[in-house]
Structure formats: structure tokens, C-alpha cells
């Protein structure tokens, strides 16, 4: 990639050596963290286009951010990838720091901000389970819209949320996304439904544990698929009061193609409808993603 563009801060990699040490090669086996970082380094354009394909999810999440964040908030976007949300929030007047595991994602985010003539406060390589470079109470809001997908161990999900709580100011908010337990089965139904019989044991494991052995197709490496009813318990145990749970795809999950192609008032009407219905409990288990919003609880 070409050198740094005029007027833009360089990407900060202060944790590079620490990250490499933590996720290096042990006994000839590359760690899960390295595999996830390499996966996203390969998926930059696909991840960039994902929220165009799944425009309703993007629209619902932006509306949730609009209704949750205070004006001119200090926002930490953890695992923000190519910067779709980070740049949108910076353009709306928030001070946004973007942290991601993938250097190529960070460079894509830098270019996106430059194209929009928007300034991000900082771009940093790092992990959701180690926010030690940030002081306690540094942010008014933390976005965790992806990292929990790749933390199959419950203690790691808890630790990531505790790190979010630590860097939040009093009454700060966290917005975090979860992949739901049935999401791989919905993909399977669209792609190759015959695999349900051929690989029955794998999908039994998924339903029982939330972990899908040997990912295939669009499946994410080292992924965890949550049951929606476990999400409030996790947030509460991590020191948050649960404000809202939202089905990110609303009522059009799996049938959104024509809605996503709309423009103008027709698009706004559908996006508003999906957002208004997103907290319907009947949608939470069926949606591919659940967006959970919590407020930092001062008492432990």
C-alpha cells in the first residue's frame, strides 16, 4: 500500500511484539489468535462489502448507536475491521479510536476515513482481551461488534467484557454483537442442506455447545454461537446492566435482498420498521446476530 496520506495519523502498533508473543507458534501449531488475524487479513474486501449485502443489520445497528451514544462521545471500536461504524460515528461528531487484530483491516479503515475526509483519533492493532494500553474510564462507549464471535471459551468472553467495563467511564455503555446458535444452520439450508445428514454429529455438537467443529464455507474460524438467553447473564456477570437486546436483522433475515436494494424513503421506512421490531423476543433466537446494549454498573 502507498505511504501514509497527508494529514492522517499513522496506524499505531505498540502491541505488535506482545501480540506476536501471545499468539505465536507453540509446538509447531499456530495459535487461534493468529489464525483469526490471518483470516481477516484475507477477507478485507469481503468484510468491507458484508454490510452492503446485509444492509439491514447495518441500518439497525446505526439506529441503536444513534439512540444510545451521548453527543460527542469518546468511543472505542474494538474489532471494528474496515471501519464502517467507526467512520460513520466520527462523521457524526464522536471521537473514535479503532482497534483491530488485522493490520490490513486497519489500513482499509484508514483509507475509508481518508476518503470520507473524517479523522479517527487513533488506529491500533490489538485484541479484545487486552485493552491495557487504555486507562481506566477512558471512553464513554465501547463497541464490541465482532470479537465475541471468536472467543469460544466462556472465560475469554467474560474477560473481554470486563476489559470493556474497565475502560468505560461511569455510566458508560457497551454495544456488543453475538452470533446466534442457529446461524450456521440457516447458512447450511441456503448452501448445501444435504450436509445435515452427512455431518450430523458436527451439528449436534453445535446445538449442544455453540461450537461448530471443522468450519466450512462462510463459517468463521474458532467461532462461538450463543443462545440469546445466555447473553443477559454474561453482561450482568461482567458488570453491566442490560438495556436492550436487538435482533440485528429484524424481520427480514434471509429475505432482505430486495429491501437492501431500496433507496430513499422506501429504504428508511424498512430500516425503521426493522429497528422498531428488533427487540421483539420472538425474533432474537431466529436472527443471525443479536446486538446487546449494556450500561456500566458501578456496584459490583
Residue range 177-212, pLDDT digits in tens: 999 999 989 888 988 899 899 889 989 999 999 998
Q: Where are the domains of the chain?
A: 16-180+229-296, 181-225
Q: Over pLDDT 90: what percentage of the chain?
A: 69
The cell numbers describing 264, all together, are: 430513499
What gap in Å lies between CA 108 and CA 48, rounded to an integer? 8
Q: What is the pLDDT of residues 209-260, one digit of tens each?
A: 999 887 655 567 789 999 999 999 999 999 999 999 999 999 998 889 999 9
pLDDT tens, position by position, 58-110: 999 999 999 999 999 999 999 999 999 999 999 999 999 999 999 999 999 99
Vertex 252: Cα angle to 183 and 108 (nearest 5): 70
| Cell reading at 118 | 473524517
By CB neighbour count within 10 A (0-12 exposed, 13-18 middle, 19+ buried), where does 141 fall? buried
Domain 16-180+229-296 has CATH 3.90.1300.10: no
- Predicted confidence at residue 292, as pLDDT, reads 98
What pLDDT score does 33 carry?
Answer: 80
- Residue 180 pLDDT: 95
Bridge-based pairing of strands 74-78 and 289-296 is: unpaired
Going through the chain in order, the beta strands assigned E by DSSP cover 25-26, 29-30, 74-78, 95-100, 122-125, 139-144, 168-179, 240-247, 289-296
Decide if 180 contacts 287 (C-beta within 8 A). yes
pLDDT in tens, 133-144: 999 999 999 999
Q: Tell me how far apart the alpha carbons of residues 144 and 159 are, in angstroms, rounded to a whole number.
A: 13
Do 54 and 75 form a contact (C-beta atoms < 8 A)? Answer: no
Q: Which of 15-19, 48-52, 122-126, 245-249 has the lowest mean pLDDT?
A: 15-19
Give the pLDDT of residue 52: 80
Grid cell of 14 as nine digits = 505498540
Contact 132, 162 (CB under 8 A): no
Please report which helix (H) or strand (E) contains residue 260, including its range: helix 257-260
Place of cell 507458534: 25
Q: How far apart are CA 168 and CA 74, in angstroms?
A: 9
- Contacts of 261-269 spanning 24+ positions with Cβ under 8 A: 267/59
Q: Which helix (H) or strand (E) holds 55?
A: helix 55-68
Amino acid at each position: 500500500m502507498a505511504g501514509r496520506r497527508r494529514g492522517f495519523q499513522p496506524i499505531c502498533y505498540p502491541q505488535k511484539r506482545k501480540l506476536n508473543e501471545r499468539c505465536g507458534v507453540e509446538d509447531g501449531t499456530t495459535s487461534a489468535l493468529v489464525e483469526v488475524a490471518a483470516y481477516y487479513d484475507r477477507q478485507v474486501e469481503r468484510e468491507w462489502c458484508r454490510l452492503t449485502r446485509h444492509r439491514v443489520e447495518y441500518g439497525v445497528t446505526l439506529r441503536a448507536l444513534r439512540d444510545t451514544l451521548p453527543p460527542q462521545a469518546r468511543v472505542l471500536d474494538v474489532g471494528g475491521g474496515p471501519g464502517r461504524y467507526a467512520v460513520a460515528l466520527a462523521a457524526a461528531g464522536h471521537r473514535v479510536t479503532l482497534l483491530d487484530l488485522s493490520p490490513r483491516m486497519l489500513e482499509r479503515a484508514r483509507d475509508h476515513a481518508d476518503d470520507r475526509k473524517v479523522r479517527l483519533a487513533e488506529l491500533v492493532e490489538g485484541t479484545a482481551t487486552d485493552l491495557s494500553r487504555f486507562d481506566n474510564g477512558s471512553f464513554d462507549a465501547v463497541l464490541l461488534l465482532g470479537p465475541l464471535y471468536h472467543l469460544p471459551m466462556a472465560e475469554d468472553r467474560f474477560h473481554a467484557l470486563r476489559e470493556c467495563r474497565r475502560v468505560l467511564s461511569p455510566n458508560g455503555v457497551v454495544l456488543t454483537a453475538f452470533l446466534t446458535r442457529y446461524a450456521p444452520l440457516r447458512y447450511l439450508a441456503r448452501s448445501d442442506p444435504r450436509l445435515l445428514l452427512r455431518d450430523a454429529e458436527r451439528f449436534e455438537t453445535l446445538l449442544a455447545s455453540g461450537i461448530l467443529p471443522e468450519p466450512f464455507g462462510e463459517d468463521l474460524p474458532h467461532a462461538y454461537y450463543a443462545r440469546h438467553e445466555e447473553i443477559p447473564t454474561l453482561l450482568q456477570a461482567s458488570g453491566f446492566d442490560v438495556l436492550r437486546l436487538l435482533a440485528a436483522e429484524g424481520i427480514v433475515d434471509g429475505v432482505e435482498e430486495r429491501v437492501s436494494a431500496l433507496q430513499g424513503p422506501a429504504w428508511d421506512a424498512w430500516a425503521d420498521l426493522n429497528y422498531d421490531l428488533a427487540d421483539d423476543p420472538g425474533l432474537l433466537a431466529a436472527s443471525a446476530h443479536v446486538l446487546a446494549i449494556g450500561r456500566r454498573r458501578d456496584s459490583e
